[in-house]
Structure 1
């Protein structure tokens, strides 16, 4: 009964209530510790005035950081989001006390409360995350699609922390006749994007009949339909698919936000910019800034600025090559700048100039754009908006994420653009930058057990249990 839809729908609200209780309890405990007992009225009353606003800010920040959705990738990313949220609550509380003239609100209480809140909320979220795994995890999964593409999906599933999914079998399109009987052995079905429209309809129909969950990796067609409107022509129902380009009002709003944030970033971040420049200049020979041609809005080229993170003339002999994990061309300081994404800070100048936006698809070099466009027919659609410093692909993907998967994130962003989505992406970039995983170079998968498990599944062998055991051991 715990898996019921009703409980699943109210679980985020339970998380929010727990967060609010612990954030406010952190302030109360800080007062008790600071004053060795109940706080004097002159100190307590200012807090009571700002408490409702602090609660509102907490919910908005945590929602913006996506802390009320499932986190399959592990507790570490959730932890970074919580720490970022609590820091935001601290800054907002200081601003609110100033706004309400609550000068009797001791700053020592604010700092102590933040430490207590981090400990309590992280402990609460750790328990909640494990509860979520018990509630929504252990899903027996059937992957439907061509073996070659299914193998790529399996590699991602096997990298998830243990306890979320157990892949039972891979079903090729030509074997869909066996789907009905297999559905009774699994909890959910994952459909790869290359499956034909007719086969997808069959899979979804049978999943509905068997009351099984279905996960569909979207292609352009699916993304375009995601915000379609139902119209009527006489008595004929028609789905209207609108242009995914931003309206003039959306472009104007986005440009205003870009100018405000980029201007503030350049002014407030000036000491950081100078520090990064000095670190690059002092540790390796060559220019401080790296200027490179990239493809931008509507396919127009522009010059992108960033701090140099590689040795001088890194591609002189090889030509354009994507960085890989432990790339010897990357300098020691460059690794730190890449991990924290501080090497991208000079692109705030590109934003002010109008070449880029704060949020959008990451710009690529012409060489790689030509390569990806020849392999992926829909690749050019990502140029319908200005490229950005950060985007959905940078939050949810990694450096090693394929161009196809990054394109799905980019197209989803363009299709579902809103000011709130931009603000959410900016917020979520902070904990991602703290983690550093997204900036790691390309990495080859050399685990023989993982490859053997994937091979057993995609080739339809009967040693499915053995493959599952391997996947469990490999999962982190």
Structure 2
């Protein structure tokens, strides 16, 4: 085996690629099971012949020189057997109209060549993994939903408090949005998928405090994860991800985080009912998937929150272990009450100014 073969990016999936322009790149650079097709009729015939046992995991479709591109996507989306397939579009030239159409058709991603091959492979592998994770999370949500109900008194308090807070803070929201756009390109609000009470998945809002390429930098920073490097964690893998002196954070972002202003858009999540003012922090999908055992799943039987026990007790401290954080989450889920919430809210303000950049 040659060095070039060893270093080729690996994709753990079966792929079908349609197009001519990037056929050589895909065939030469990727170590994966790829079927290449460049005739529309052959591509249609290929998909028509698939069964549950032979379906590919990913479909790569080139946009350039492919007038049938978006019709092909529509046909795939209409077929019940093919609806769950991962669809990624590839282009040679950037075209806003194409991207807009791709967004409307809800494809999984859109890449314009040239792009970092390792990043592309990492993205495809994540999409495949998420495809497997999501049904499991949804199944957990169905099982847990019956057991978890937010008390109406807590919901009423959340609705009134968050509504007044959003009205009062609106001028600050406008100022922060302008400053973020002046400092760096990208969206003002960062939106990510989070898992809250009862394993429910929702869009989680924050003011963007990182560079626009922050997600791409994550893979090179594993050794900086506080939880992975904790003495209790012998494997190097952790359910939680937290960095000290995170290099992805912008100058303005550092201030927003230090003052917790970046968290304020979550008041919208509270207002619409995704989460509560006080509760356990909603987790990213990859973290929540690791907390489905009986020992730690208790945290999802309590409300997700803007602030909680973790924020007021050990936030930013070096001796904060992963186990301690899990135990705090479980304790709150078992013991939350209006009185406890009021105590946490009163102690939250002093805890907002962090001593460490985490």
2:296 aligned to 361, 371, 379, which one? 379
What is the deviation of 1:417? Answer: 1.7
1:423 aligned to 338, 342, 345, which one? 342
User: Where does residue 313 of structure 2 map in the other structure?
Assistant: 396
Residues of 1 paired with 2:257 and 2:287: CA distance? 20
Cα contact 1:398–1:440 (8 A) shared by 2 = no
Residues of 2 paired with 1:372 and 1:279: CA distance? 37
Residues of 1 paired with 2:344 and 2:212: CA distance? 33
Within 5 A, what are the aligned runs for 1:332-371? 332-371=251-290
Cα contact 1:372–1:403 (8 A) shared by 2 = no
User: Where does residue 327 of structure 2 map in the other structure?
Assistant: 408
| 2:201 pairs with 1:301 | yes
2:154 aligned to 254, 258, 262, which one? 254
When residues 323 and 312 of structure 1 are mapped into structure 2, their CA distance, relative to the original with a 3 A threshold, is: farther
What SS class does the counterpart of residue 176 from structure 2 fall into?
Answer: helix
What is the deviation of 1:323? Answer: 4.3
When residues 333 and 371 of structure 1 are mapped into structure 2, their CA distance, relative to the original with a 3 A threshold, is: same
Bigger Cα Rg: 1
When residues 263 and 408 of structure 1 are mapped into structure 2, their CA distance, relative to the original with a 3 A threshold, is: same
Within 5 A, what are the aligned runs for 1:54-133? none
Residues of 2 paired with 1:318 and 1:393: CA distance? 24
What is the deviation of 1:421? Answer: 1.1
What is the deviation of 1:271? Answer: 1.4
User: Where does residue 70 of structure 2 map in the other structure?
Assistant: none
Q: TM-score, normalised by structure 2?
A: 0.50
Residues of 2 paired with 1:381 and 1:264: CA distance? 32
Cα contact 2:207–2:265 (8 A) shared by 1 = yes
Residues of 1 paired with 2:175 and 2:151: CA distance? 34
When residues 393 and 440 of structure 1 are mapped into structure 2, their CA distance, relative to the original with a 3 A threshold, is: same
Residues of 1 paired with 2:288 and 2:148: CA distance? 25
When residues 327 and 411 of structure 1 are mapped into structure 2, their CA distance, relative to the original with a 3 A threshold, is: same
Considering fraction of residues, name the structure with more strand.
2
Cα contact 1:246–1:385 (8 A) shared by 2 = no
User: Could you list the runs of 5+ residues in structure 1 that have no partner in the other structure?
Assistant: 1-244, 442-476
- After superposition, the C-alpha distances for 1:4-49 in whole angstroms (9 at most, x for unaligned) are xxxxxxxxxxxxxxxxxxxxxxxxxxxxxxxxxxxxxxxxxxxxxx
Cα contact 2:217–2:248 (8 A) shared by 1 = no
User: Where does residue 327 of structure 1 map in the other structure?
Assistant: 246
What is the deviation of 1:386? Answer: 2.4
Number of residues paired by the alignment? 192
User: Could you list the runs of 5+ residues in structure 2 that have no partner in the other structure?
Assistant: 1-145, 223-240
What SS class does the counterpart of residue 202 from structure 2 fall into?
Answer: strand
When residues 335 and 317 of structure 1 are mapped into structure 2, their CA distance, relative to the original with a 3 A threshold, is: closer
When residues 347 and 247 of structure 1 are mapped into structure 2, their CA distance, relative to the original with a 3 A threshold, is: closer
